[in-house]
A = this chain, B = another copy of it.
Amino acid sequence: MATDKYDVVIVGAGPVGLMLSTCLSRWGYKIKHIDNRAEPTPTGRADGIQPRSLDLLRNMGLKRKIMEYEPAKVYEVAFWDPNSNGIHRTGTWASCPKFIDARHPFTTLLHQGMIERVFIEDIEKNGTQIQRPWTITGFKNDGADPAYPVEVNLSHVDGTHSEAVRAKYLFSGEGARSFVRDQLKIGIKYKDPIANVWGVMDGVVRTNFPDIKMKCTIHSDAGSIMVIPRENNMVRLYIQIASSTDKDWNPRKSATAEEVQEKAKNILKPYTISWDRVEWYSVYPIGQGIAERYTLDERVFMGGDACHTHSPKAGQGMNTAFLDAVNLAWKIHHVESGFAPRSLLSTYESERKLIAENLLDFDARYAKLFSARIPSAGEVAGASQANSQMEENEFIKTFKASCEFTSGYGVAYNPNTINWGPEHPAQHPLILPYEKGTALRTGRTLIPATVTRVVDANVVHLEQEIPMNGSYRVYVFGGSAQKTKSALRDLATHMANPTSFFSTFTHKDTSVDRYHEKHNPHSNFLSLCSIINSPRSGIEIDELLPEIFARYRDHVYADDVWDQRVPGAKAAAHAKMGLDEEKGGVVVVRPDGYVGVVVKLEEGAGTCEALNQYFAAVTGKKMGEERASL
């Protein structure tokens, strides 16, 4: 009997596994996806979606389905401290303050099961079924079949059935207790020496505590509690039951729901609280740790809680899981599509592990600073302002960095082949680094900008216009089209060269009718947008743009929408990116939304050459004149 073969075997249907499965199923991969639970999460567990993650979900067309569940939205965090009456509020802070340019400046709170269901529906629509309750019992990268080098053994949790399959990749999204990680003998490094036991309770309460619908951190003489509002009029309470700093520290210490409620009542005094019902209650010890490796062979990968565990305080678990999965998904896709060398896969660990480390380092530093003293009202106000005149003391700096981290916009990947930097093989003089004026930083998300789509005059969010389709996103900011006419024509001419970054991966099958294809008419390697500094009514696409750009007619935009952040700009999108409003520039964004490189738009071959150099490094192919002259 022939062994079944899959592109990827995914173990675990929590946030990381589901995100990976969704991306790869949409892009046409054959997936074996198992989970050892008989059903999706019924209640409780992770529930916080950060602003950046919401952008990502919107880019995947999933935000609306999430919002249908009417999640709670956290815009501010309140801090409460002990006083002679019990507790009092010391201040409230925006959870995503105005200095962060976010479309959705709030955290979305929704129970994990509902989020899982949104993904599962999408996965099933794309032909993958999650097999439950099945578990992994063994695997080896034996290379017996070079195309499908990994053998994976799976079995029903009751042991009645089992199967062996072969796969190109195996992914563990198993959570903190990972069979795969254990088998690979990969250790966990605990960054934060302090471990805690937490009690978590979701329920409907009656209380006169005024901030019950806000996220609150409450310190009282009776202990500490964290309040998080939830969908369906529920409230989640996190109560610290034990800490490794306690004298009698016992990581197995537990507490009943009634004990936790009693403790909450004491902490909240002088306010009262009682429970109409408890939907979910759990006690778990957690340490903040990171796996030493995310992969050993770039065939068997791990992500999410299997690689890094977080204190629930930061609300990061699901968000880092999503970003792990998206990071890996497009890299597997590009390698398997021939768009990138296998070495691209090494950037999964280097990029994502650094983020997890930064997050944990940061969390520890912040907690320490915070516990050391209570910030003054002035500091809080100052830290929340975009352009504070105040001197930035360490507290404010740390607070700002904290907001960036927890919102998800603080993710900054270091320079490597895909994130241009001073050491990058592409060193063309037209490459425009952050230091020389653009507001865009490689390895960070594209700055949001509102523009008008030319074909239908719809006012749209530029950064959302290309759906997450696995393609690089090339944004041609055309400046003033009168002034850049030659530069645009020259860029198009050189892009049409069969050895250019644009032409190298054009669709092989020319018999397919792509008339109605909006995003990938030429290739799946990239999608292209043009943004012109002009009122919409002044843009005649076919007259103004070279044919190659005009072909992406659904992605031609007028930069004519006023923006409060750059009130004096005529072309706000250009201005926000830090590009010359007259001369424009070209911005390359990775398939997962992070800026890869920024290039000046100039007459002649230079702009295309610079892009060829960047993409040559990215794809491992020779491109442009360099290749033509060989």
Contact = CB atoms under 8 A, between A and B. Distances in A.
Interface of A: 64-65, 67-68, 72-76, 91-92, 94, 106, 204, 206, 208, 210-214, 229, 233, 276, 452, 455-459, 515-516, 536-537, 540-542, 564
Nearest to A77: B457
Given A64-B64, A64-B68, A233-B516, A541 B210 contact: yes
Contact of A457 (B65, B75, B212, B536): B75
A600 B213 CA distance: 32
A603 to B, nearest CB: 27
Contacts of A515: 206
Nearest to A72: B456
Contact of A75 (B74, B204, B211, B459): B459
Contacts of A276: 516
Given A76-B457, A210-B540, 20 more contacts: A64-B67, A64-B68, A72-B456, A73-B456, A74-B457, A75-B452, A75-B456, A75-B459, A76-B536, A91-B537, A92-B537, A206-B515, A208-B542, A210-B541, A213-B455, A213-B456, A214-B455, A214-B456, A214-B457, A564-B564
A474 to B, nearest CB: 22
A68 B542 CA distance: 32
A459 B536 CA distance: 30
Contacts of A229: 456
Q: 8 nearest interchain CB pairs?
A: A213-B456, A76-B457, A75-B457, A213-B455, A73-B458, A92-B537, A75-B458, A214-B456
A65 B516 CA distance: 26
Nearest to A204: B516
A64 B74 CA distance: 21
A464 to B, nearest CB: 13
Contacts of A516: 204, 233, 276
Contacts of A564: 564
A456 B212 CA distance: 8
Contacts of A542: 208, 210
Contacts of A106: 458
A206 B515 CA distance: 8
Contacts of A211: 455
Contacts of A64: 64, 67-68
A231 to B, nearest CB: 12
Contacts of A213: 455-456
A611 B308 CA distance: 61
A139 B336 CA distance: 70
A106 B453 CA distance: 14
Contacts of A233: 516
A540 B456 CA distance: 47
A236 to B, nearest CB: 14
Contacts of A540: 210
Contacts of A459: 75
A22 to B, nearest CB: 17
Contacts of A455: 210-214
A15 to B, nearest CB: 22
Contacts of A75: 452, 456-459
